[in-house]
């Protein structure tokens, strides 16, 4: 992305580490979380005082 080949190994290592940590924790992709939060705020449900996880069915 930067045109520098010496950064490739570090970028791959950081990506692998993020995947290794997120997968066992069952972490949801960040864009899905942000989309749900945006939709909840737009619908006015975010002001109900409950967490998004308790309102969204799995």
pLDDT tens digit sequence for 3-43: 788 888 999 999 999 999 988 998 888 899 999 999 999 98
Q: Which residue segment(s) compose the domain that 43 sits in?
A: 5-55
**Residue 2 in tokens:** 């930067």
pTM above 0.75? no
Residue 29 DSSP symbol:
P
Q: Which of 55, 19, 20, 23 is nearest to 37 (CA)?
A: 55
Tokens 């942000």 sit at which residue?
Answer: 34
Domain tally, the chain: 1
């Amino acid at each position: 992305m930067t045109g520098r080949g010496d950064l490739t190994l570090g970028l791959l290592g950081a990506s692998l580490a993020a995947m290794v940590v997120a997968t066992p924790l069952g972490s949801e992709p960040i864009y899905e979380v942000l989309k749900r939060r945006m939709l909840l705020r737009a619908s006015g449900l975010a002001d109900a005082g409950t967490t998004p996880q308790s309102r969204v069915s799995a």
